[in-house]
Amino acid sequence: MKVLVAGGAGFIGSHLCEELIRQGDEIICVDSLLTGSKDNLKNLLGEQKFCFLQHDVIQPLKGDLKIDQIYHLASPASPVDYREHSIETLLVNSIGTYHLLELAKKNTAKFLLASTSECYGDPLEHPQKETYWGNVNPIGPRSCYDESKRFAESMTVEYVRKFDLDARIIRIFNTFGPRMRQNDGRVVPNFLKQAKNGEPLTVYGDGSQTRSFCFVSDLVAGIVKAVNTQETKGEVFNLGNPEEHTILEFAKLIKDLTGSDSRIIFEPLPEDDPKQRKPDITKARKILGWEPKVSLQEALKKTIRALPKIEVVNS
């Protein structure tokens, strides 16, 4: 199988490329390196079946590429990154998605859009099912991400309706693991870096907001199943771990696992920060036969072990 992974040099994309290589696929990894890095590909760059192309998918890919499957993960994902690169985020999820859908159409290739739980905004329905339409501020600081992903979803389903493209959408809930950039601003790298450096752990707001954290290997297994399972054309799947924690509980767990004596301090809650988030994964369980397997503690230990100069103390 010849597979194109857009955003393959990023955190999730690089793990996905490794899994696809393990399965024997031939990969074209396309990435502008806006928030990703070639370091993430160091296990892959020597592989015969792996090819890296530095390219911004806002521009169409030139040449006569023959492709069976396209995984579209190209987009900044951390709130700090998409605020800094707001216009790039809007463009990659709109024009970038359009070019990749066109490429899929030309090749009659299967297509997967990596969308996000952010499509639900600050959700009024809890946990979130795929049928929930969301509560998104269209002009708030997160809208460059939320709204452009919603646009990407809309364009993807339109290619299914109009051109019968074999495309599906996954809505990824907070996922973490080795290779997240230490300074990408998301809560896991922030707390781990702070715990490691003996700095205070910065909890935003009072820490009562909730998130549900999934380990990257579980997510990658779900992504691959979403493309390779029958009856997923035109469907949307939540992929994430339904175990929900407050951010304050999460800070305490990281302090505990790293043995850090860092204090916990409270900083202002960013505007429009969702108060709660937890996926309903009934549909993924039923149709994909998928559910996360790695517990939060185990996932954090694996992530901590991958960091330089930090040890798990409480096992």
Residues within the interface to ligand UDP (CB under 6 A): 78-79, 174, 186-187, 190, 202-204, 209, 211, 247, 270, 273
Active-site positions? Answer: 145
Choose one: 32-40, 100-108, 159-167, 280-288; the region binding ligand NAD (CB under 6 A). Answer: 32-40
Report the partner that residue 310 touches, choosing among ligand NAD, ligand UDP, none (CB closer than 5 to 8 A by kind): none
DSSP 8-state secondary structure symbol assigned to residue 275? S
Cα 58 to chain centroid distance, Å, stands at 19
Would you say 116 or 260 has its CB closer to ligand NAD? Answer: 116
36 binds, among ligand NAD, ligand UDP, none (CB under 5 to 8 A by kind): ligand NAD
Tokens 């990281």 found at:
254
276 binds ligand NAD (CB under 6 A): no
Q: Which of 26, 47, 56, 102 binds ligand NAD (CB under 6 A)?
A: 56
- Choose which of 4, 5, 10, 310 interacts with ligand NAD (CB under 6 A): 10
Token pair for 119: 């499509």
Candidate list 3, 11, 98, 104; residue touching ligand NAD; CB under 6 A: 11
Rounded to the nearest whole angstrom, what is the least distance from the CB of residue 106 to ligand NAD in the complex? 19
| Cβ–Cβ under 8 Å, residues 221 and 291 | no
Output DSSP code: residue 294.
Answer: S
Quickly count: other Cβ atoms within 10 Å of residue 138's Cβ: 9
Residue written as tokens 């901590």? Answer: 304
**Binds 31: which of ligand NAD, ligand UDP, none (CB < 5-8 Å by kind):** ligand NAD
User: CB of residue 291 vs ligand UDP: minimum separation in angstroms?
Assistant: 21
Closest to ligand UDP by CB, 96 vs 240, is: 240
SS3 309: coil
Q: Which residues pair with 172 in a beta bridge?
A: 116, 239
Question: Is 76 near ligand NAD (CB under 6 A)?
Answer: yes
190 binds, among ligand NAD, ligand UDP, none (CB under 5 to 8 A by kind): ligand UDP
Indicate the residue among 36 and 127 with the shorter CB distance to ligand NAD: 36
CA 108, 110, 114, 119 dihedral sign is positive
Place of tokens 């521009």: 59
Residue of 73, 75, 219, 97 lying closest to 165 (CA atoms): 97
Longest dimension (CA), the chain: 58
Is the distance from CB of 73 to CB of 169 less than 8 angstroms?
Answer: no
Please state, in angstroms and rounded to a whole number, the distance separating the CA atoms of residues 43 and 38: 10
Residues lying near ligand NAD in the complex (CB under 6 A): 6-7, 9-13, 31-36, 56-58, 73-77, 81, 92, 96, 114, 116, 172, 174-175
